[in-house]
Structure formats: C-alpha cells, structure tokens
Structure 1
Amino acid sequence: MNKMKKAFTTPTSLDRELEPSPVMKESVTAVEKIVGYSFKNKRLLEEALTHPSVPGSASYQRLEVLGDSVLNHAVTNYFFCMADRRKFNQDQITKLRSANAGNLKLARVAVRLGLYPYLRRYNTPVLDDKVKEFIEAVINGEDETGLVHKVLADIVESVAAAIYVDLKFDLDKLWMIFKPLLEPIYTLEDLRGRPMAILHDFCLKNGRRLEIKLKPRDETENISIAGVYVDDVLVGSGSSKGNSNARQNAAKEAVHKLSQSMVVNDGSFEGIPAGNDRSFRIEEAIQMLHVLCVKKRLLKRPDYKEENVLGPPHERKYLYSVKVVTSDGSLQSVKGDEKSRKKCAMNSAAYKMFLALQEYDNMINTIKFYRMTNRKEADRMINTKEADCKIKTKESDSMLGNIASLLYTLGAKAYRVIISLLYF
C-alpha cells in the first residue's frame, strides 16, 4: 500500500535550528518567554519582530499574511467544534471569529503582552507616537476606535505564523499555545454588550468612516459630552462625568438608532435595511430596489442619472442619483456616494433610496396611526376647518400640539400628505 505524500512541507530554509542575529537576540529571548514557546528556528521570530522600515532585512510582512489566515482558521475551528453543543449558525461563527481574531482584538493583545518595544524598526517617530496613543487609550480604558493599531495586530499575527511554521504547520499545537494569549475569548453574550466594538466592526465591514468626538467639557454641569459620527453624520450622542463613559453612552445610542434602519443580530449590524425579509449587500442594491418597487406595484421603474464625474482619467469618481415615484404620486430623489465605478455609484444611490422609501413608509404609518387613534379629534378639526393650513396650538389641547409639532418636523411635503389623509 502506497503511503500518501504530504501536500505541504516546511521549506528546507525554514526547517533548521538557527540562532537570531546578535542585534535581535535579547528581543527574541524576551518574546519567547512572553508567548511561552521556545523556537527551534529563532530566525523565524526575528523576522516576525522586524518592521518593514528596517533596510536590508526580511520584515514581518509575509508572516503577517500567513498569521492572519492561521488565526482566523484556528478561531473558526474552535467555535465550529462547539457547534453541536451550542448550535452556532454561520453568522454567529463569523461574528465570533471577527471579534476574537480581528485587528482590534489582536492589537489589544499586543498591548497586554507588551510586544511593541521588541519590534525592530528604523526612523519611525510618527508611528511610535500613534502607537503610544493607542496603548495609552487601552491602558486607561478609553475608546481606542479610530486610533492606529494595525501594526500591533500585525506583530501578533506574525508571531503566530512564526510559531505555526516552527511547529511544522500543526494547527492544534499552535492553538494550545496561542489560545491563552487571546484570552478572554469573546462569546455571543460579550458581543451584545460591546456597542463600541459593534460600531467599529460595522463601519469596517461596510466601508464607513467612524469618528467619536468629545465636545468641550460642560464645566457648569461637570459632564463630558461625546458624539458618534458615521461618514460625518451624527448618529448618537451621550454624556457622563468621565470621557470614557460619555463615549460608551454615545455608542449605545448610535447602535440603537442605527438598528432602526439596519438589522441587528447577535450584536452586530448586517447592513440590511430594516423591514426587509431578505438580506443583501450594497452591491445588490439595484436589484433589490427594483424588487421593492415591483412589490409596491409602482408604475415607473427607478430612474438613475449620472450627476457628476470627478477626478483625472486614471482616478475617476462617479456620482449617481435615483428617482422613484411613490404610490401616492410624490417624487423621491436621493444621491449616492462617489465611487470609482459607475455600477458601484448606482448601487450606492439605490441603497440610499431603499432606506429613504422605508423612512417614507414609516412616516405614512405614523400618520395613519395618528388618524386612527384620534379619529374624533381629526373629524372635529375638519368640521371646524381648523386643519385648513392654519393649525393653532394651545397648551390645553395636547392633540393639536402634537400634530403641529409633527408637521413642523416633517416639513411642507409631509404636511400636504397628512392633510390629504385627514380629509380622505
């Protein structure tokens, strides 16, 4: 019987017992103690601890690519093997993998293990300052979202890859060594309670820009006020006596508000407009907007228009708009984001229109609710002609005050819709 040959073998150049170079000997020895593993080929760890800024030396870049895949594989295996007992589904395993092997988590691991001082680098004062800012934020329990941390995650991935290769690509042995370093391993319950991480993962996955800004401290009230901005749009604010808690409160409000227009499952956004019974990506927005219009029996198809072409020929940016005539005859028009491809720009516009139509439906449903629950009051308004564009609020008439406030908030177009519904 022929013995099956191994498909993957360690390259001869790596499968040797080698000592590190004199300049890296102390760093290699220190990191071996930190991770609890003694390398046979110590040059592997030396490479994992060398930044690309060092001239004439192999950097961690190749190992980082391998380490990224290996850690994702190991974490996936860990939760997959629990699937029969815990019944994790596909989305849950994906979220758990992202939470436990994502860049932000690995960067925190690098801070906790103290790996950055052992990274060999050359003339990187700007990087050092930015990494220091991230490290201080982690140590002080402050929000580190948006701070530079990729290089810290790269170190952890490179060290993991170095161990993996030194173990002759034995994933089980790697996980036995590395799992304690990744503690705590986040569970689904942990994810539900981490609004800051939820926002960060959502924006990273959907290509959104996330900023959390602190406003000047209100010395009178002795509180800090924070705002969460997604693509420069304020989506949540919060306050507290401390900066960290103010950020957390703002993140909680942002998660709550975004969940009104995006489906949330097990603590992470899926990028799906609320109320839709089928998930889709922005890349599928044109098709799904068409399906929605058919479902609503709209007579006209969405009308796309190229609004602008920006940039030089080699860096073109396209901006598209889309118009939809709703069932009541009103015209809805939105512009998408600038994209490098026409179809992507059209999908961006379609996606925003999908959300706009849902917001419009919510407005109509709210109006109908007001009419049904306050039919007598609405009829009295019609009979006395108080609804003839001259609604006057009185402190003693809370219903009229509510409707007037609603009209003021929704604007003139919504006002006409409300009046027509009240009359007919």
Structure 2
Amino acid sequence: MESSVDAVENIIGYTFKNKKLLEQALTHSSYPESVSYERLEFLGDAVLGLAISNHLFLAYTSVHPGKLSLLRAANVSTEKLARAAVRHGLHRYFRHNTISLVDKVTEFVDAVAREKNHRALVVYGGLVKAPKILADIVESIAAAVYVDVDFDLQRLWVIIRGLLEPIVTLDDLEQQPQPVTMLFEICQKNGKKVDIKHGRSATKSTASVYVDGQLFASASSDQKDIARLDAAKVALHKLEHMLPATASTVMFDCCAGGIDDTFEIEAAKQKLYAICGTKKWPKPVYSIEKDEGTPQEKKFVTSVQIATPGGILQMSGDERSRVKDADNSAASFMIRALQECKYV
C-alpha cells in the first residue's frame, strides 16, 4: 500500500501529513479488515461541490445561477470525475476484493482509450457508462486532502484543481448538447410530452422522466442536478431505439453525394457558426481526422460535428495543407449537406 500512496501523492503533487487518510481514500468496502473510503466519499462529494461553486462564482460574475448550476453539475458529475481518475491513472491504486469492479473499470478505461480523441473533454457521457467507484476515488482523495490541510477549502482547491482539469466552461456546455435540453427538444419534435419529477430520500435525490404520462427512466444521485442529467441520458438512450433514425446520432455524409471534390465556400466556418446561432444549435465542433507529412508538406483532414434536436451530424472535408483551410473545407461540405437535406 505504501507504493500506491507514494504514487498518488506524486499524481496530485501533495505529500500527506497523515498518510492513513490517503490509504483510507483508496480502500473499497469489499477489502477485508480495512476502513473503507465511504465516509471520505461522503465528505468529498460535498466539498468538491463547494470548491467548484466558489470557483464558478468568482470566474463568472454575471452569469445566471441556473447556468452556474449546470456548470457545477457538469464539473462534479460521475462522468467527469471518472474520466479524471482514468486520465491520471488513479484506478490502478485502489484496493478492493470484487472481481466485477475490475470488469466495469476495465471496460470503461478501454472505451475511453478507443475514443478518437481520448483527451478531449466529454461533458455528458461516452459510449460506456462511467463506474461510480472511479468518481468515488476522486471524491475520497479530495476529502482526504481537505482533512489533512485542516479543512482549508482554498488550500484544497489549489492542490486538487489540477486533478480536475480541464474545468468545464460555458463554451464547453454550448458545444456539447445538454441531455435535458435535447430530451425536451426531441420529444417535442416527435409529438411527445415529457416531464421530469424529483424526489428525495434520506440520502439521495431521484429524478424520474415521464414520457406521455408514463414512467420512462429514472436516476438517483447525491445531487439533484446530477440525478436530472443522468435520468435524461437514460431516457435519450431509450429513445434512440424507439424513434426514427433522425432522432439519434448519424454520420452526415449521406446527403453530400453530389458535391464534387473541389467544392468550397468562402468563409464557410464563419457562415456555419452563424447558421447554428440562427437555429439555436450548439457551436460546431471540429476535430483533426488526419495529420500527416513533413513540417514543410503537412496534410490535414478535419471533420465538423453539429448537435441538433434530431441528432449529431458529422461531415469530413478535403485534404488541406493548413488546419484552418481543412476546417473551412469541412464546414463547406456541412453547409451544402444541410442545404441538400433541407435543414436550412
């Protein structure tokens, strides 16, 4: 255990006065004859929420509290914290005695590694559900630090912020569609009525999604905002299998068959941004698909994604010598495809 404690101290850049706290933070309840992280996780959930709230309050001095709540929820969600654990390799150091945990964690770690850009910020969830134990580890480590620095919240934030980077920003939220918003928009488009109701037990907040008056999905969490997000994600996943294909994620190259290889629109990237603004869609998201060649003869291909109420549309551009030009090519094809498919 000593080597695990040393490794985690190196990861977070902090040396504990009481190393037993970190040992406890890395110990699952299934591990025999040891104190588990459950009490620390309880504290860490609250203290991380407060630390993030303080940061957002100071960083966004004129933003509405509703948006601040969304930002806080995105920054302390199970998905966000689990990815932080994987990014820093914390999953390698926790003690447990449950084989099923290994399978779930391995599946998630492998799924993250297979993503096209596994270091990109994913706000609301990838292909595999994030195991809660990974988020618990981050919360427990944060609580262990908090106790070790004599409950000094400012010192905790200085130490733990690097573990949480990148912090989700307002721009990130705009670029990745919010599950609750998408749920309401998709249901409205398909003539369905949706309602989300909240309840609370002694320790958990529960969100229940009702579609056309019938219970459709539910989720629970320590925080109301996260329960609401998780319930919306479950509902969206179910809707993908029930509604027409236009309501799910699609590769948007089926409408562009008639576009020749030399097609280009001047200032297409700016024009596509304007289209999304007019439609009240999130900002386009560009990704480098190909980066080859010598420094003197570089070749880039980029793709662009747009999140609409009907799904995520994707289009790749032609090969160009500069990323800026590759982005413009992808935007040009996207605009033409939007026109041919009657989106604009």
TM superposition score normalised by structure 2: 0.55
1:128 aligns with 2:96: no
1:48–1:190 CA distance, 2 compared to 1 (3 A): same
Higher relative contact order (CA 8 A, sep 6+): 2
1:208 aligns with 2:217: no
Aligned-pair distance for 1:141? 1.8
* Letter paired with 2:152: D
Give 1:134-213 correspondences, 5 Å limit: 134-141=108-115, 144-145=126-127, 147-195=129-177, 204-205=227-228, 208=231, 210=233
- Structure 1 residue ranges without an equivalent (≥5): 1-23, 213-226, 257-424
Aligned-pair distance for 1:240? 2.6
Aligned to 1:101: 76
Aligned to 1:43: 20
Q: Deviations over 1:52-90 (max 9, x none)?
A: 111221101110010010000000001112343xx0111
1:254–1:63 CA distance, 2 compared to 1 (3 A): farther
- CA distance in 1 between counterparts of 2:157 and 2:305 reads 36
- CA distance in 2 between counterparts of 1:60 and 1:197 reads 31
- Structure 2 residue ranges without an equivalent (≥5): 117-124, 184-206, 210-217, 219-226, 254-286, 288-303, 313-344
1:239 pairs with one of 240, 250, 253:
250
Aligned-pair distance for 1:255? 6.5
- CA distance in 2 between counterparts of 1:81 and 1:70 reads 17
- CA distance in 1 between counterparts of 2:60 and 2:230 reads 30
* Letter paired with 1:131: V
2:238 pairs with one of 229, 237, 257:
229
Give 1:17-416 correspondences, 5 Å limit: 24-84=1-61, 87-122=62-97, 124-141=98-115, 144-145=126-127, 147-195=129-177, 204-205=227-228, 208=231, 210=233, 228-230=237-239, 233-234=242-243, 236-240=247-251, 252-254=308-310
Contact 2:16 2:145 (C-alpha < 8 Å) held by counterparts: yes
Number of aligned residue pairs: 212
- CA distance in 1 between counterparts of 2:237 and 2:305 reads 10
Aligned-pair distance for 1:99? 1.0
TM superposition score normalised by structure 1: 0.45
Q: Deviations over 1:318-364 (max 9, x none)?
A: xxxxxxxxxxxxxxxxxxxxxxxxxxxxxxxxxxxxxxxxxxxxxxx
Contact 1:52 1:60 (C-alpha < 8 Å) held by counterparts: yes
Aligned-pair distance for 1:148? 3.9
- CA distance in 1 between counterparts of 2:72 and 2:167 reads 10
How high is the sequence identity, in percent, across the aligned residues? 44
